[in-house]
Amino acid sequence: MKAYAIVKPNCRELANHLLNYLSIYAYGLETGVRVRNPSFIEWHRYFNLKIQESFLTRMIASLPILHGVWKAAYKLYGSYLIRFCKKCVRLTLGITTYLPPTRALLAPENGCETTYFIGWHFRNPVGLEKYREALVAAFTPHQNIFKRIESILAPLRGKQLIGVHLRQEPYRGFKDGGFLVSPTRVRRIVDEYLHEKNLNATDIALVVVSDKKVDPTTFHGLTIHTQYGNDVTSLFLLSKCTVVIGTNSTFSNLSAWFGNVPHLVTTNEPMDWAHYASVTTYFENKYATFAQ
């Protein structure tokens, strides 16, 4: 039986791994080929593992101490494949490669028993929508993640939840702080959103996910829960909101995709509110360039 294997994504953050994985998994559903991802070992333990994985990878997933060794071995394996098994490798470095059903592949199927995917810029927006139900089911986190989310949201019941992804540390490769939007600017965007949607501050609650402590005065006057830490919990927490107002990042965009809600990209430029006027579900946002 043919298989697709993801062995060397060359990225560190959960959302980058996950969007790449979802895109290839959708390609597998389109072609009837099973997908394996040994490189996802760091996060497998958080998910239900309806995704087909070997007994070995499931065992290592339960032993975090082995993650580093496993990932290092697969990086070396990826380098070996690039050098000696080029025919069986699909490689994307820096330039986005779209997979079917989004776009036909430039190179035909290679006839290999296993095709190896190397790089994290594989994308499949049409596949993600076409197979949304199957993908969401396959990548559902463990029940304890949702129990934690329910306990977080319990005090906010009765209010409309507005998700805010506030990134404060520069992204890897953008040490100058490119793509970052200050907390003060994000607060102004939230206020503009409330005005655009005719929402009363007393009727909403902000669910803020951030990588650093947020000054408590930033969102003064609004009901707020601020979440730090575990990326899996944070991503799926945002997915429970009616909208995600967040950075131009795969994290913000993917949380909106899982919740099937709009992702409003924060920017230091004036917001294009006309662009968001009629959207109520997830859509391919031209401003979400990191997810494209």
| Of 119, 47, 29, the residue nearest 81 (C-alpha) | 119
Among 138, 171, 192, the domain-final residue is 138
| Dihedral over alpha carbons 143, 146, 152, 155 (to 10 degrees) | -100
Both 284 and 194 in one domain: the answer is yes
Both 261 and 169 in one domain: the answer is yes
Both 204 and 85 in one domain: the answer is no
Both 16 and 123 in one domain: the answer is yes
Both 86 and 201 in one domain: the answer is no
- 160-166/89-91 β-pairing: unpaired
- Which DSSP symbol is given to 157? T
Q: Of 33-42, 76-85, 235-244, where does mean pLDDT reach its minimum?
A: 76-85
Both 151 and 132 in one domain: the answer is no
Both 187 and 150 in one domain: the answer is yes
Query: Could you read off the pLDDT of 91-130 as tens digits, one per residue?
Result: 887 789 999 999 998 776 777 899 999 999 999 999 999 9
Among 138, 162, 178, the domain-final residue is 138
| Interatomic CA distance for residues 179 and 186, integer angstroms | 13
> Residue 156's domain is classified under what CATH number?
3.40.50.11350
Both 164 and 125 in one domain: the answer is no
- Listing DSSP states for 161-225 in one string gives EEEEEE--SPPTT-TT-TT---HHHHHHHHHHHHHHTT--GGGEEEEEEESS---TTTTTTSEEE
Q: Is the pLDDT of residue 286 over 70?
A: yes
| Interatomic CA distance for residues 83 and 236, integer angstroms | 38
Both 252 and 277 in one domain: the answer is yes
Both 66 and 154 in one domain: the answer is no
Both 75 and 153 in one domain: the answer is no
- Which DSSP symbol is given to 241? S
Both 133 and 150 in one domain: the answer is no
Range of 75's domain? 3-138
Query: Could you read off the pLDDT of 1-59 as tens digits, one per residue?
Result: 689 999 888 887 899 999 999 999 999 999 999 998 888 877 887 887 555 555 555 55
Confidence of residue 60 (pLDDT cuts 50, 70, 90): low
Name the strands in the sheet holding 114-118, side by side, starting at the edge strand that comes first in the sequence.
34-36, 3-8, 114-118, 89-91
Number of domains in the chain: 2
Among 82, 108, 138, the domain-final residue is 138
Evaluate if pTM is beyond 0.75: yes
